[in-house]
């Protein structure tokens, strides 16, 4: 804990980050967290939630750890911090090889801010090491992941409670841009912090115009996008629910328009992901066709247009993704393209996320067989996926359930016939329940799409009672015309084609330029 | 076409004596006794590990295409392949156009990766700081490479533009010695000041090639570069550092490093032992250590090719990788030292723990 009266927070904000003033909510959250109070902060996308822990991390004596669901998000933040010359920051994830990780391990005490994936945080050795180093502030970013009501439910988040206790109860700061009252309640109870101070701010984005267009199918969607890209030379993100589709439409758009288009998804290797993302940030690309892997953490100021080629599985996910637009507070448009057949896509995706009854049975059998032969589970996720022949999200779910029902303790299998019977039933029911909930969430997206009243009002209604008047046009139901949307356009000059010799000179001979 | 050509070439060499997976294992650099034997037996060491990222599905797709084009016959029961006359003819026709001579997988598969990663980050970093631009997002997130580049920066920060000039004059002849298109691809992969290079996808599209071909071509180019640099260290002092610096020095024990320096001056093992006042056994231990890290370790000097064959045959017969068993199965006057050195040279020890060479 720190005596707040002795610190001039504005000055520190300026020293470390070069910002002159706090944005709404930041100071309040930081003051509480630094005084040792547990805090839940809900602030809109792009409002600067990261500062709420990055600044305390610099000022607190001990270590701040940040749990965050997306590796790319963590890496990105670390890079951006390093880029403004902030030291003592690191992201640890399970993709690092042992050599790299060991290097970081050995000097862990020297870091101030450590980003870590929830998976890695589960490891006892990691926990012991962190306990030794001493954690002052425990941050749960994208905290809605803790609740099955939130989009992107992550079972590993449910185990944070235990870890927090093990780490001698550091101050907890949970942050989200999309937490309904239900989700907020879940966060408090799953973290076992009923007395958390809530700082809930309106999350609506007055500079974003919401636009839903009902089209007959793929072809119309593609034509629509082509004509929009021809009319608006603005940084644009197009979201897809499948990698393949993102790739295909990206190819189509580079063929049919003169825009610089690329795709981005989780299946690409890390260097290429960084290259594409940075080309976009840097203005070498104007259009990104992507899956939800591109999103959280993408902090480009002047994205003007966010198109959804497919609907999202929850409204929260939509709010997150459309929140990539207009982070400079200038007028931007979110456009969702919908055709009736689209409903089945998320249905299938949802089904693919949870194990079927058959799969549960098979996994149980396999476990029993391994138990009978005195085997233990492999240590890595990859190996387990191969052994049990289920997808990653299904395995994460099952693993959590097994541990909860005392069937698994780390890699050791414990057998008790009666217990297993009960667990099997409980797990199957749990899946059923979650399917129903997910379906409900999908229904609310569909309802929103078919809603005839104000889309802005409807979108935010589960989150807050009211919203700020939009700065530009409100939504397609309140009356929207493309003609009246006149954002500042990029000037597009064709780049000169250089020979490789010239390019090499440009790269290396800095005094020649 | 490049990957296809290499696959066809490997299949041709292995013929029906190996299954269709053998080529896949060679290209991805599988560290199994079988694969390592194969590359020596069939003289395919050049292609060992030249495409470690290759996915099985892509490989299967290539086989399927080769089959549909009438270049190979697949035997689905024995899972073997055979070239048709047509395949033979196609291979002859394209072989000349392919830069097959660039590749030297066994020797350079690790060092060329390191070389390329370091070079990419080095160029990006120095190009940025050369423009007094200190905040940029590195395209690579490998802390080991990052640390190395930081070290270079620390050492050279007073002379950035000279350093960049030198780098330019060393890279230029290397790039001029390959085809224009190849040089262009290589340069397009690099990032610099307020500029990010191309992704695999973008390179493929831009040069009208498949992603796999771009990747394997870049691997080949870096093999060739590493080879040229090692051949002529004096002409490439800076790039030689990119390959060597920290690679040999830091991973070796202090003592082995001293032995290494003497070896570089052409001392014999006996003389090193004499000079350093150490036992010959100890120096031999050092050599094994050095062979692990020095990619152009002159293994033939200590293990002549007939002995190498002898060891390979013994490994094949042996049921384990225990030295004792392998030694017992050799037929010539092969020593423990030679077996260890040989196994170190072909990367065995890298295989974390499960093969214990020192048993
Ligand atoms: N006080 C401030 N003054 C000026 N700019 C700020 C301030 N605080 C944060 N920012 C900037 O606002 C941008 C968005 O911040 P950040 O990425 O933390 O948003 P976020 O709330 O985490 O959004 P998301 O929900 O999308 O993750 C960043 O570029 C950040 O540097
Ligand atoms: Mg954030
Ligand atoms: Zn409206």
Q: Touching check for A511 and chain B: CB below 8 Å?
A: yes
Which residues partner with A208 through β-bridges?
A332
CA distances from B66 to B12, B18, B70, B76, B83 (A): 12, 18, 6, 15, 10
Cβ atoms of A17 and A51 within 8 Å: the answer is yes
**Residue written as tokens 């993100």?**
A237
Is B123 in the same domain as B228?
A: yes
pLDDT value at residue B202: 97
| Separation CA A140–CA A65 (nearest Å) | 9
| B23: its two tokens | 């080529």
Q: Reduce the DSSP state of residue B171 to 3 states and report it.
A: helix
What residue in A sits closest to B194 (Cα-Cα)? A282
| B61: its two tokens | 């797709």
pLDDT one-digit tens code per residue, A134-180: 999 999 999 998 987 666 677 788 889 999 999 999 999 999 998 88
Q: Is A127 in the pocket of ligand 1 (CB under 6 A)?
A: no
CATH number at residue B326: 1.10.10
Q: In this complex, how many residue pairs, one in chain A and one in chain B, have their CB atoms less than 8 Å apart?
A: 107
Domain boundaries, position B341:
249-352
Spell out the residues 6+ positions from residue A445 whose beta carbon is closer than 8 angstroms to its own: A311, A312, A313, A314, A315, A318, A346
Query: What's the complex ipTM?
Result: 0.78
Name which of B188, B187, B158, B192 is nearest B174 in CA terms.
Answer: B187
Q: Is A262 in the pocket of ligand 1 (CB under 6 A)?
A: no
What residue in B sits closest to A251 (Cα-Cα)? B205
**Closest ligand to residue A299's CA:** 1
Residues of B in Cβ contact (< 8 Å) with A275: 139, 191, 196-199
| A371: its two tokens | 């138990």
**Residue written as tokens 């392949």?**
B81
Residue A207 has φ and ψ, to the nearest 5°, of: -90, 0
- DSSP H helices, A44-141, are 51-59, 71-83, 98-106, 118-121, 124-133
Q: Is residue B106 part of a domain?
A: no
Spell out the residues 6+ positions from residue B151 whose beta carbon is closer than 8 angstroms to its own: B246
Q: Is A362 in the pocket of ligand 1 (CB under 6 A)?
A: no
Structural domain count, chain B: 3
**Closest ligand to residue A176's CA:** 1
Q: Touching check for A61 and chain B: CB below 8 Å?
A: no
Is B67 in the same domain as B167?
A: no
| A4: its two tokens | 């707040």
| Separation CA B347–CA A34 (nearest Å) | 52
Is B57 in the same domain as B139?
A: no
CA A396 vs. chain centroid, Å, equals: 17
Name which of B46, B28, B173 is nearest B100 in CA terms.
Answer: B46
Other CB atoms within 10 Å distance of the CB of residue A237: 25
pLDDT class of B354 with cuts at 50, 70, 90: very low
| Separation CA B197–CA B206 (nearest Å) | 12
Is B202 in the same domain as B117?
A: yes
Among A85, A99, A503, whose Cβ lies nearest the Cβ of B134? A85
Name which of B178, B193, B291, B189 is nearest B227 in CA terms.
Answer: B178
Please give the mean pLDDT across all residues of chain B.
87
Q: Determine the distance separating the centroid of ligand 2 and the alpha carbon of A308, expressed in angstroms.
A: 21
Q: Reduce the DSSP state of residue A408 to 3 states and report it.
A: strand
Is B121 in the same domain as B242?
A: yes
Contact criterion met (CB < 8 Å) for A272 and B194 = no
Residues of B in Cβ contact (< 8 Å) with A508: 123, 126-127, 164-165, 167-168, 171, 192
What residue in A sits closest to B120 (Cα-Cα)? A271
Is B259 in the same domain as B196?
A: no
pLDDT class of B359 with cuts at 50, 70, 90: very low
CA distances from A403 to A122, A374, A384, A423, A513 (A): 12, 18, 15, 11, 61
Contact criterion met (CB < 8 Å) for B196 and A275 = yes
pLDDT value at residue B110: 83
pLDDT value at residue B209: 96
Contact criterion met (CB < 8 Å) for A510 and B161 = yes
| A447: its two tokens | 């309802």
Is B240 in the same domain as B253?
A: no
Cβ atoms of A473 and A479 within 8 Å: the answer is yes
Contact criterion met (CB < 8 Å) for B196 and A279 = yes
Cβ atoms of A66 and A113 within 8 Å: the answer is yes
| Separation CA B283–CA B255 (nearest Å) | 9
| B15: its two tokens | 């013929």
pLDDT one-digit tens code per residue, A196-225: 999 999 999 999 999 999 999 999 999 999
Q: Is residue B226 part of a domain?
A: yes
A2: closest CA of chain B, how far (Å): 31
| Separation CA B165–CA B171 (nearest Å) | 10
Q: Is A296 in the pocket of ligand 1 (CB under 6 A)?
A: yes
Taken in order of first residue, the domains within chain A and their CATH numbers are 4-200 (3.40.50.300), 205-235+300-513 (3.40.50)
Name the residue with the closest Cα to ligand 1, atom 8.
A48
Q: Is A155 in the pocket of ligand 1 (CB under 6 A)?
A: no
pLDDT value at residue B348: 39
| Separation CA B30–CA B106 (nearest Å) | 11
Q: Is residue B285 part of a domain?
A: yes
Cβ atoms of B287 and B262 within 8 Å: the answer is no
The parts of chain A modelled with pLDDT lower than 50 are 98, 513
Summary count for chain B: helices (H), strands (E):
19, 2
| A74: its two tokens | 């963590």
- Give the torsion sign (CA, A44, A47, A52, A57): positive
Q: Touching check for B199 and chain A: CB below 8 Å?
A: yes
pLDDT one-digit tens code per residue, B239-285: 999 987 655 444 566 788 888 888 888 899 999 999 899 999 999 98
Q: Determine the distance separating the centroid of ligand 1 and the alpha carbon of A233, expressed in angstroms.
A: 25
| A379: its two tokens | 């240590």
Q: Touching check for B332 and chain A: CB below 8 Å?
A: no
Q: Determine the distance separating the centroid of ligand 2 and the alpha carbon of B219, expressed in angstroms.
A: 38
Q: Residue A173 gets which letter from DSSP?
A: E
Whether residue B40 is predicted with pLDDT greater than 60 in this model: the reply is yes
Contact criterion met (CB < 8 Å) for A500 and B183 = yes
Q: Is residue B104 part of a domain?
A: no
Question: Please, which residues have CB less than 5 A from ligand 3, an ion?
Answer: A 454, 456, 474-475, 478
| Separation CA A505–CA A513 (nearest Å) | 9
Please give the order of strands across the beta sheet that includes A39-42: A89-92, A113-116, A63-67, A135-140, A171-176, A39-42, A197-200
Other CB atoms within 10 Å distance of the CB of residue A79: 18
| Separation CA B191–CA A221 (nearest Å) | 35
Q: Touching check for B200 and chain A: CB below 8 Å?
A: yes
Q: Is residue B7 part of a domain?
A: yes
Is B169 in the same domain as B279?
A: no
Please report the DSSP string for A249-316 in residue order.
HHHHHHHHSSS-EEEE-TTS-HHHHHHHHHHHHTTS-SEEEE-TTSBTB---TT--EEEESS--SSHH
Residues of B in Cβ contact (< 8 Å) with A501: 172
Contact criterion met (CB < 8 Å) for B123 and A499 = no
pLDDT one-digit tens code per residue, B113-154: 999 999 999 999 999 989 888 777 888 877 778 878 888 888
Mutation to test the B interface, candidates A508, A511, A513, most B Cβ within 10 Å? A508
**Regarding predicted confidence, which is higher, B319 or A434?**
A434
CA atoms within 13 A on the CB side of A395: 17
B351: closest CA of chain A, how far (Å): 14
Is B119 in the same domain as B186?
A: yes
Other CB atoms within 10 Å distance of the CB of residue A121: 19
CA distances from A53 to A24, A169, A193 (A): 15, 17, 18
Residues of B in Cβ contact (< 8 Å) with A79: 137-138, 141
| Separation CA A27–CA A196 (nearest Å) | 17
Name which of A349, A353, A379, A361 is nearest A154 in CA terms.
Answer: A353
Among A96, A272, A510, whose Cβ lies nearest the Cβ of B199? A272
Which ligand 1 atom sits nearest the alpha carbon of residue A49? 21
Cβ atoms of A136 and A62 within 8 Å: the answer is yes
Q: Touching check for B196 and chain A: CB below 8 Å?
A: yes
pLDDT value at residue B31: 76
Domain closes at, from B65, B98, B131: B98
Q: Is A346 in the pocket of ligand 1 (CB under 6 A)?
A: no
Is B230 in the same domain as B301?
A: no
Residues of B in Cβ contact (< 8 Å) with A254: 205
Q: Reduce the DSSP state of residue A430 to 3 states and report it.
A: helix
**Closest ligand to residue A302's CA:** 1
Q: Is A53 in the pocket of ligand 1 (CB under 6 A)?
A: no
Please report the DSSP string for B49-94 in residue order.
TTTTT--HHHHHHHHHHHHHTTSEEEETTTTEEEE-HHHHHHHHHH
Q: Is residue B105 part of a domain?
A: no
| Separation CA B105–CA A430 (nearest Å) | 51
Q: Is residue B282 part of a domain?
A: yes
Contact criterion met (CB < 8 Å) for B197 and A275 = yes
| Separation CA B359–CA B356 (nearest Å) | 6
Spell out the residues 6+ positions from residue B8 whose beta carbon is closer than 8 angstroms to its own: B66, B71, B72, B83, B87, B90, B91
pLDDT value at residue A354: 87
Report the residue among A25, A53, A82, A299 best suited for mutation to probe ligand 1: largest number of ligand atoms under 8 A from its CB: A299
- DSSP H helices, chain B, are 2-14, 21-28, 33-41, 56-68, 85-95, 105-130, 143-156, 160-176, 180-188, 200-207, 211-231, 237-244, 254-264, 269-276, 280-293, 299-302, 305-317, 323-329, 336-345
Interface of B with A in 297-316 (CB under 8 A): none
| Separation CA B171–CA B168 (nearest Å) | 5
pLDDT one-digit tens code per residue, B159-203: 999 999 999 999 999 999 999 999 999 999 999 998 999 999 999
CA B64 vs. chain centroid, Å, equals: 28
Q: What angle do CA B121, B127, B128 make, to 5 degrees?
A: 90
| Separation CA A439–CA A313 (nearest Å) | 9
Domain closes at, from B246, B267, B294: B246
Q: Touching check for A262 and chain B: CB below 8 Å?
A: yes
- DSSP H helices, A354-416, are 357-372, 381-388, 392-404
Domain closes at, from B197, B218, B246: B246
Whether residue B357 is predicted with pLDDT greater than 50 in this model: the reply is no
| Separation CA B38–CA B32 (nearest Å) | 10
Name which of A329, A350, A320 is nearest A141 in CA terms.
Answer: A320
Q: Touching check for B254 and chain A: CB below 8 Å?
A: no
Is B253 in the same domain as B138?
A: no
| Separation CA A261–CA A287 (nearest Å) | 5
Is B94 in the same domain as B129?
A: no
| Separation CA A453–CA B152 (nearest Å) | 62
Cβ atoms of A253 and A225 within 8 Å: the answer is yes
Interface of B with A in 110-169 (CB under 8 A): 123, 126-127, 130-131, 134-144, 147, 160-161, 164-165, 167-168
| Separation CA B248–CA B223 (nearest Å) | 18
Mean pLDDT on B275-298? 82
**Closest ligand to residue A177's CA:** 1
CATH number at residue B10: 1.10.10.10
Q: Is residue B220 part of a domain?
A: yes
Q: Is A22 in the pocket of ligand 1 (CB under 6 A)?
A: yes
Tallying the residues shown for chain B, one arrives at 359
Q: Determine the distance separating the centroid of ligand 2 and the alpha carbon of A317, expressed in angstroms.
A: 14
pLDDT value at residue B36: 82
pLDDT class of B349 with cuts at 50, 70, 90: very low
CA distances from B180 to B90, B176, B195, B225 (A): 25, 7, 22, 15
Interface of A with B in 299-328 (CB under 8 A): none
């Amino acid at each position: 804990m720190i005596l707040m009266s002795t610190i001039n927070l504005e000055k520190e904000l300026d020293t470390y980050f070069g910002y002159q003033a706090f944005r709404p909510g930041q100071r309040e959250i930081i003051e509480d967290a630094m005084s040792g109070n547990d805090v839940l902060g809900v602030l809109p996308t792009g409002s600067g939630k990261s500062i709420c822990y990055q600044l305390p991390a610099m000022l607190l004596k001990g270590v701040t750890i940040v749990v965050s669901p997306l590796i790319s998000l963590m890496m990105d933040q670390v890079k951006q911090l390093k880029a403004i010359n902030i030291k003592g920051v690191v992201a640890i994830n399970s993709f690092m090889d042992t050599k790299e990780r060991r290097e970081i391990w050995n000097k862990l005490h020297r870091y101030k801010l450590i980003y870590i994936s929830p998976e890695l945080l589960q490891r006892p050795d990691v926990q012991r090491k962190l306990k030794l180093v001493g954690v002052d502030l425990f941050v749960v970013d994208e905290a809605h992941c803790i609740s099955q009501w939130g989009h992107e439910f992550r079972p590993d988040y449910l185990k944070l409670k235990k870890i927090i206790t093990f780490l001698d109860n550091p101050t907890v700061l949970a942050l989200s841009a999309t937490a309904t009252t239900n989700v907020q309640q879940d966060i408090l109870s799953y973290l076992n912090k009923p007395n958390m101070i809530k700082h809930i701010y309106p999350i609506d984005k007055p500079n974003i115009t919401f636009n839903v267009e009902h089209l007959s199918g793929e072809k119309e969607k593609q034509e629509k996008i082509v004509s929009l890209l021809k009319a608006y030379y603005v940084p644009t993100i197009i979201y897809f629910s499948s990698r393949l589709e993102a790739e295909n439409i990206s190819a189509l758009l580079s063929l049919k328009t003169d825009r610089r288009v690329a795709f981005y998804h989780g299946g690409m290797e890390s260097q290429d992901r960084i290259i594409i993302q940075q080309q976009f940030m840097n203005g070498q690309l104007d259009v990104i066709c992507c899956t939800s892997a591109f999103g959280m953490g993408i902090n480009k100021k002047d994205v003007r247009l966010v198109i959804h080629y497919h609907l999202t599985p929850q409204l929260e996910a939509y709010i997150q993704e459309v929140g990539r637009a207009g982070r400079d507070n200038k007028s931007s448009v979110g456009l969702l393209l919908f055709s009736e057949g689209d409903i089945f896509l998320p249905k299938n995706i949802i089904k693919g996320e949870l194990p079927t009854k058959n799969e549960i049975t098979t996994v149980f059998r396999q476990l029993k067989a391994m138990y009978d032969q005195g085997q233990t589970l492999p240590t890595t996720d990859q190996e387990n996926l191969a052994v049990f022949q289920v997808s990653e999200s299904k395995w994460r779910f099952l693993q959590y359930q097994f541990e909860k029902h005392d069937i698994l303790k780390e890699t050791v299998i414990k057998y008790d016939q009666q217990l297993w019977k009960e667990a099997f039933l409980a797990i199957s029911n749990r899946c059923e329940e979650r399917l129903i909930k997910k379906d409900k969430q999908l229904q609310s997206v569909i309802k929103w799409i078919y809603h005839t009243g104000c889309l802005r009002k409807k979108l935010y209604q589960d989150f807050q009672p009211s919203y700020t008047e939009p700065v530009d046009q409100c939504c397609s139901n309140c009356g929207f015309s493309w003609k009246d949307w006149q954002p500042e356009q990029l000037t597009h000059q064709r780049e000169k084609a250089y020979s490789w010799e010239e390019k090499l000179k440009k790269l290396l001979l800095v005094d020649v330029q | 076409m490049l990957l296809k050509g290499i696959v066809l070439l490997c299949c041709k060499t292995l013929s029906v004596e190996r299954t269709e997976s053998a080529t896949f294992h060679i290209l991805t650099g599988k560290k199994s006794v079988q694969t390592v034997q194969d590359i020596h037996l069939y003289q395919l060491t050049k292609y060992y590990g030249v495409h470690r990222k290759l996915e099985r599905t892509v490989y299967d797709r290539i086989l399927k295409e080769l089959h549909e084009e009438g270049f190979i016959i697949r035997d689905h029961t024995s899972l073997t392949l055979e070239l048709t006359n047509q395949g033979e003819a196609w291979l002859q026709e394209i072989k000349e156009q392919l830069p097959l001579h660039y590749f030297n997988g066994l020797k350079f598969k690790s060092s060329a990766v390191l070389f390329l990663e370091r070079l990419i980050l080095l160029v990006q970093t120095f190009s940025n700081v050369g423009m007094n631009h200190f905040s940029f997002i590195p395209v690579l997130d490998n802390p080991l490479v990052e640390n190395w580049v930081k070290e270079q920066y620390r050492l050279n920060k007073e002379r950035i533009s000279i350093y960049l000039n030198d780098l330019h004059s060393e890279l230029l002849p290397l790039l001029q010695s390959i085809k224009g298109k190849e040089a262009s691809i290589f340069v397009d992969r690099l990032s610099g000041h307020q500029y990010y290079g191309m992704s695999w996808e973008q390179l493929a599209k831009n040069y009208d090639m498949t992603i796999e071909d771009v990747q394997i071509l870049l691997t080949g180019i870096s093999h060739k570069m590493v080879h040229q640099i090692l051949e002529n260290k004096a002409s490439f002092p800076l790039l030689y550092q990119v390959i060597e610096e920290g690679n040999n020095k830091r991973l070796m024990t202090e003592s082995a490093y001293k032995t290494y320096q003497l070896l570089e001056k052409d001392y014999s093992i006996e003389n090193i032992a004499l000079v350093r006042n150490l036992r010959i056994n100890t120096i031999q231990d050092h050599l094994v250590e050095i062979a692990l890290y020095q990619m152009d370790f002159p293994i033939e000097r200590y293990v002549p090719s007939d002995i190498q064959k002898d060891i390979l045959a013994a490994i094949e017969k042996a049921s384990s990788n225990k030295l004792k068993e392998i030694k017992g199965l050799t037929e010539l006057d092969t020593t423990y030292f030679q077996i260890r050195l040989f196994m170190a040279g072909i990367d065995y020890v890298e295989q974390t723990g499960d093969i214990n060479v020192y048993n």
